[in-house]
Structure 1
Amino acid sequence: MRAAADRWPGIAGAALLLAGLALCLHNAPALPGIGTLVDGWLHPATAPYTVTATLYGWLPRLAVALLAGAALGAAGAVLQQVLRNPIASPLTLGVAGGAQLALSVGTLLVPAGLGALAEPVAVLGAGAALGLTVALAWRGGLEPLTLVLAGLVVSLYAGALNAALLLFFEYDLQGLLLWGGGALAQHGWGEVAFLAPRIALGLAGLVLLVRPLTLLSLGDEGVRALGLSLQRLRLLCLAVAVYLTACVVSAVGVIGFVGLAGPALARLCGARTFAQRLLGATLLGAGLLWLADQVVQPLDARLPGLLPTGAFTAVLGAPLLLWLLHRQRLPATPRTGAAPVAASARPGRRIAGLASAAAVAGLIAVAVVQTPLGWRWDIPWQVTELAPWRLPRVLGAASAGLLLALAGVLLQRLTRNPMASPEVLGISGGALAGVVALALALPAASTPALMAAGTAGGLVTVTLLLALGRRGGYAPEQLLLVGIAMKALFDGGLGMVLASGSLQWSRALDWVSGSTYGVSLPGALATLAVALLLLPVCLALHRWLDLLALGGEQAAARGLAVRRGRLVLLMLAALLTAAATLVVGPLSFVGLMAPHLASLLGLRRARDQLAGAAAIGVALMVAADWLGRQALAPYELPAGLTASLLGGLYFMWLLHRREG
């Protein structure tokens, strides 16, 4: 039985190789003979079309896929060895996102000369992103869960900054958006000539570092006992991994999950030593990207627009990460952080104060504006006159903030983890996926239909969270990492939509960024009605939340049906998230910030935390909407994007503080 289990990876690999070869031959033009190809290479002006297509399209694309896949597989193996984290990769650690953000900034600053500077710019961005990720997790000893969470927030923040740049410079960066999805289509040998020597140099450096990297398996003390500088070794190896990743991103864009899948499959195929894993990851990474690109090519020919290989690999790679998480239980992370804040003796006063602050934020949002002559406080009749334009946005932002805050409280108490939120667990991404899918299928779909689709997407995510988290006993670590994988899956699908050239792509971009510009008064009132309806429902379930915060066994001992309670609360969180996602998109971090701020104010019991977080959520989202409209007037930054830029910084601070 054991021997059969050990053989199946090889059998599966052989089957995939044969399938890839069959697809490769199917996708290739009518292959001419070697002599004809050589003649076409020497005399391109008189070469037949099939020879030109083979020489300057099919063969360069094949070479780029193999080179990029090999580089990403090797980089993933090095990152996993140096950081001792089996789910570390260029994508999960924010390296690819940092490189893409740097290229976007470079395109705007030096539009004509970026071609020559693309490589150093990408290396700088990738290195900065990895440095920030490692710095956030350093005080926690680079513990695997913390490192992945740090990489997630860095990647999200880079993505938010990229989205902001795309909104302001849509025509300058639209081509970069399509390219950034990881398109491997080639029209010559330029990218091959760029990648080949650089990847060869990086791989040669890794060959020289194989022995020191192998010694890292001995642990920090073992490496120091041998006289090696652990810090220098880690920095050198990370520099090579970052360089390989940045070269690929600067040439073909972001390729998702190859850096995770290559080393994982190498281990699965029996690689035990680091040298074996490095070789296996390099070869398997090249083969995986080659196979994925062979699947993409016939689909790309039949679908409108462009189907990027990078986004497609993200869709394929997310299930792989879910499977890896199912096979491996990560050690539980103790709930550390700052000393707990004592519960407030008078929570009612603090909640009333927070509600007053939310009301003041709403008043400022409708009455204070920036004009070409400076700031102005509108008098009542001016406010009334402009209310049809301002009021829907303020009500929509307030309702979304309240909904996300409630969802955040539910999720943080369910997982007993202050880092949980609808954004981190992938529920916001699932809701957005449902909304975008219905909008593409039925462009004239009504708001209630879109809300139903978003709720369905959120519920699918919750169902997968429950199913995949069951083996780990719904451990917070397992749920968080499953949420990360789900978010990657939805991001890959959305990336394909944005790069497809669909007429709905700008509408999808509005949802992603969380713009309240198009919120109508009936839509805002409907969202407000949902929020006011679900608020008392959440408050009525406060006892369940208090008991579940003690742990499953303690809650069951006090008479709570734990499984049913978790299911009801997760479904409620999905509904809250879906309703908010329609207004402010999938990113805001309000679901993270509001519950934590309420807790810091001493609102420790579930009922008090729900009420306080609701008021804080309203104030935060209304303030974000107002800042987005006024800070860069006459330009506007969407409310969801503004909140995510502020919330991302808060998330980084919270993660650093928690690990300290």
Structure 2
Amino acid sequence: MAEVRRLFRRPGAVLALAVVLGAGLTLLAAFRLMGSDRPPAINGLLLYQSLLPRAAVAIAAGASLALSGALFQRVLRNPIAEPSTLGIASGVQLALGLATVYAPALMATSREWVGLGGGFGAFLLVLALTSRGGFNPVSVVLSGMLVSLTAGALGAALILANGDYMMSLFIWGGGSLIQDSWAPTLTILARLGIAGVASALLLRPLAILALDESSARSLGVGVAAMRFLVLVVAVWLAVGVSVEVGLIGFVGLAAPALARALGARSQKAVLLTSPVLGGLILWVTDGLVQASGSDVPTGAVTALLGGPLLLWLLPRLTRPRPLEPEAPVAAPRMRPGKAALIVGAALVLAAALGLLLGKGPDGWSLALGSHLAEFAAWRLPRIVIAATSGAMLAAAGVLLQRITANPLASPEVLGIATGSGLGLAAVLLTVTAPSRELQLLGAVVGAGVTLLAILAIAVRGHYGPERLLLGGIAVSSLGGSVITVLIATGKPEAFQLLGWFSGSTNAVLPRDAVISAVAACLLLPPLFVFGRWLSILPLGPATGSALGLNAGRASLWLVLFAALLTGAAAVFVGPLSFVGLMAPHLARHAGFRRPREQLAGAVLIGATLLVIADWLARMLTFPYQLPLGLFASLIGGPYLVWLLRRGVGRN
């Protein structure tokens, strides 16, 4: 270990080692290519038009992303800002996907402008969400996660709607560096050269931007204009790479962090060293992918760096402050019992609407008599799954917000639903034709392991609620990257995972509805026994101990139930409904204040939300059906936007 530490104190040795490793892997690929049975002329063509351009584009793309990440981190004063965490890459992919389906002519003539519009649109949305909080790290990453998740879900829905034709776009979006010419390399290098010159000219303003705004203005720097100019350069660089080679995740996070770890302290040193390190990181990573013989896109592999890097950078966030509590809720105008009757009636009405009212070739119609039996066979299972899944996610959200004393905690935001996807993926890849019960077990185990990992990180690092959120995002990033790698393999299970990711319930069976209902009936009633725990835990472990509560044991039990509830729901509706975030807040605003009251109100509201979302998902785009999880996330996403704009969760 001592020798390793000494090595990392010598940046030249590290760079030389990376260069040797990258060159060696490229030579290995070249030897394998030239030793094939193909004619020498074909091998030579592949060497000069595919293999060498691939190495060159890896270096150019990695350098561009690293410089982009360094600029983002400097301007936003956020060590975890980069194109992936800011939602830019997902915005590019969604824009290109929409253009491919609805305006294919644009892809032939204006692909770069389409990607630029998507990337800038996503980034401006993140800036709009976080401007009131001064672009603080927690809000920026939460907003970037929101944009990325929503854009990813929309992209998954596009792929499901267009089959194998769009599956190739998903694989490209994973960041495939396979080349057939030198054109992408030259294009990226041209952008990098222009951005490098611009960065050199902006060195002094960048140094001044590190000061507070009043000091920067006193030195004659127009803070807003200069910040926007640098951000434009950074976004332009990142979008250019995404348009040419797809989404390459977290190189822009890794390279500046590694530069600082190797001793780069001044802004000039970071801006000079980061592109070199970024190019080497992507070159070596792509070489390892080629050496393994895998067809997995290189960008999907680099994304695996994201989770561990975010976890490593959490303690390095400057001046952490505790989350602000949620704004007090005005006194309710009705008693909880009356509110429960109203919400319960809304749930019954929504279920009746979903069962009876529908749209057909001849317009709207009511399913009555013999028609009711025909439609109920496929409508009723969806309604049952929507109601029970919504109830379980809402209950899990109440538990998590009470355990963590964090108004933004939920299965979706903390990545627990993504963990359930990992468990589901493990079952699909290891078992031939697994039963729904086995898939459910895998999802529950995945959710439980993920939640325990997040809480263990929080306890070990003595993090406050804001660090717990970032830890959840880090684990979610890692899990999402693994799922992306699995989907990009193109195996038959990949399409199942893609359907799960978007929350598609089009193929649910009556047996699935029975399983979901049984899970809800087994898991929800015991929660009301924990009312005292839910009252005391938000007060902190010291208060809990004084009141005779073993906070660790109580939290462990509640964590177990939260994992069970999340896994049981996510296996049917996917990871992106946001019901676990919305329902507890709406319950409090409706007058359900005490823990048991909030739990009951959230269960009813969560069930109602997903039943209504299921009906709208079937009706709005008839004869096509939107995935339930995706449609619910399009409702929940704006709600999280509203919470962020109000300052909930702002540090």
Shift in Å at residue 77 of structure 1? 0.5
Question: Which amino acid counterpart does residue 129 of structure 1 have in structure 2?
Answer: A
2:27 maps to 25
- 1:370 alignment partner, SS class: strand
Deviation readout 1:584-629 (Å, 9 max, x if unpaired): 0111111111111111112121111110000011111111111111
Report deviation, 1:237.
Answer: 0.3
- 1:231 corresponds in structure 2 to 224
1:159 aligns with 2:159: no
Among 396, 405, 411, which residue is 1:422 paired with? 411
Aligned length: 644
Task: State the AA in 2 paired with 1:119.
Answer: E
Q: Distance in 2 between matches of 1:408 and 1:384?
A: 35
Kindly report which structure 2 residues correspond to 1:292-311, keeping only aligned pairs within 5 A, or say none. Answer: 292-299=285-292, 301=293, 303=294, 306-311=295-300
One-letter amino acid matched to 1:26: L
Partner Cα distance (2:332, 2:529) in 1:
20
Q: How does 1:367-446 map to 2 (within 5 A)?
A: 367-446=356-435
2-side partners of 1:226 and 1:80: how far apart? 22
For 1:287, the equivalent position in structure 2 comes to: 280
1:60 alignment partner in structure 2: 53
Task: Determine whether 1:242 maps to 2:225.
Answer: no
Deviations, residues 306-358 of structure 1 (Å, cap 9, x unaligned): 31111111113321222222555761333245333336772122122212211
Pairing 1:82–2:75 present: yes
Match of 1:597 in 2: 586
Check the 8 A contact 1:462/1:570 in 2, yes or no: yes
What SS does the aligned partner of 2:460 have? Answer: coil
* Partner residue, 1:169: 162
SS at match of 1:265: helix
Which residue is equivalent to 1:50?
A: 43
Q: CA deviation at 1:570?
A: 1.4
Q: Would you say the 8 A contact 1:425–1:487 is kept in 2? A: yes
Structural mapping, 1:550-589, within 5 Å: 550-589=539-578
- Per the alignment, residue 271 of structure 1 pairs with 264
Q: Secondary structure at the match of 1:595?
A: helix
Question: Cα–Cα, structure 1 residues 445 and 31, in superposed 2: closer, same or farther, change >3 Å?
Answer: closer
Please state how far the C-alpha of 1:523 moved relative to its aligned partner.
1.9
Equivalent positions of 1:451-600 (< 5 A) are: 451-600=440-589
Give the match for residue 8 of structure 2.
8
Rounded to whole Å, the distance in 2 between the matches of 1:234 and 1:98 is 21
**Partner-residue secondary structure (3-state), 2:399:** helix
Kindly indicate whether the alpha-carbon contact (under 8 Å) linking 2:420 and 2:444 is maintained by their aligned counterparts in 1: yes
Distance 1:170 1:333, change over 3 A: farther
Taking the aligned partners of 1:409 and 1:330, their CA distance within structure 2 comes to 29
- Which residue of the partner structure matches residue 205 of structure 2? 212
In structure 2, how many angstroms separate the alpha carbons of the residues matched to 1:9 and 1:430?
37
Stretches of structure 2 that go unaligned for 5 or more consecutive residues are none
Alignment of structure 1 residues 59-208 onto 2, 5 Å = 59-208=52-201
Greater CA deviation, 113-122 or 248-257? 113-122
Aligned to 1:607: 596
Looking at structure 2, the residues matched to 411 and 142 of structure 1 have their Cα atoms a distance apart, in angstroms, of 26
Q: CA deviation at 1:180?
A: 0.6
- Take 1:533 and 1:563, find their aligned partners in 2: how far apart are those partners? 24
Q: Which amino acid aligns with 1:295?
A: L
Letter in 2 for 1:249: S
User: Contact (CA 8 Å) 2:59, 2:283: kept in 1 or not?
Assistant: yes
**Residue 358 (structure 1) aligned with residue 360 (structure 2):** no
- The C-alpha deviation readout for 1:379-411, integer Å capped at 9, x for no partner, is 254323422221111111111111100111111
**By how many angstroms is 1:3 displaced?**
11
Distance apart, 1:222 and its partner CA: 1.3
CA change 1:148–1:398 in 2 (3 A) is same
Farther-moved stretch of structure 1 (475-484 vs 614-623): 475-484
SS at match of 2:263: coil
Partner residue, 1:41: none
Q: What's the offset of the Cα at 1:195?
A: 1.6
| Cα offset, 1:419, TM superposition | 1.4
Deviations 1:485-523 (A, max 9, x none): 111112211112222120122211111111122222122
* Unmatched segments (≥5 aa) in structure 1: 33-45
- CA offset digits 1:198-234 (Å, max 9, x no partner): 2211222112111111111222111100111100000
* 1:504 partner SS: helix
Q: How much does 1:156 deviate?
A: 1.4
Q: 2:323 aligns with which of 334, 356, 363?
A: 334
Instruction: Specify the code of the residue in structure 2 equivalent to 1:176.
Output: L
Deviation, structure 1 residue 17: 4.6
Residues 27-60 of structure 1, C-alpha deviation per residue, up to 9 Å, x if partnerless? Answer: 223699xxxxxxxxxxxxx962332222111110
1:424/1:483 contact within 8 Å kept: yes
Letter paired with 2:521? L
Q: Do the aligned partners of residues 288 and 630 (structure 1) sit closer, same or farther apart at CA in structure 2, a change above 3 Å counting?
A: same
Q: Which one-letter code corresponds to 2:287 in the other structure?
A: Q
Cα pair distance change 1:417/1:175, threshold 3 Å: same
CA distance, structure 1, for counterparts of residue 346 and residue 269 of structure 2: 60
Letter in 2 for 1:358: L
Separation in 1, partners of 2:416, 2:286: 29
Given that 1:408 and 1:422 are in contact with CA atoms closer than 8 Å, whether structure 2 keeps it comes out as yes
Partner letter of residue 134 of structure 1?
L
- Counterparts of 2:470 and 2:450, CA distance in 1: 13
Amino acid at match of 1:553: A
TM-score (norm 2): 0.95
CA distance in 2, matches of 1:339, 1:18: 60
Cα pair 1:343 1:604 within 8 Å, conserved: no
Deviations 1:530-560 (A, max 9, x none): 1111111211112111111222222222111
In the alignment, the residues of structure 2 paired with residue 200 and residue 105 of structure 1 have an alpha-carbon distance, to the nearest angstrom, of: 30
CA RMSD between the two structures = 2.2
Between 109-118 and 511-520, report the one with greater CA deviation.
Answer: 109-118
Mapped to 1, the partners of 2:319 and 2:165 lie a distance apart of 43
Is the CA contact 2:154–2:502 (under 8 Å) kept in the aligned structure 1? no
**Residue 295 of structure 1, CA deviation:** 1.2
Residues 87-96 or 341-350, more deviating:
341-350
Once residues 220 and 645 of structure 1 are traced to their aligned partners in structure 2, the CA distance between those partners, rounded to angstroms, is 36
Distance 1:171 1:445 in 2: 24
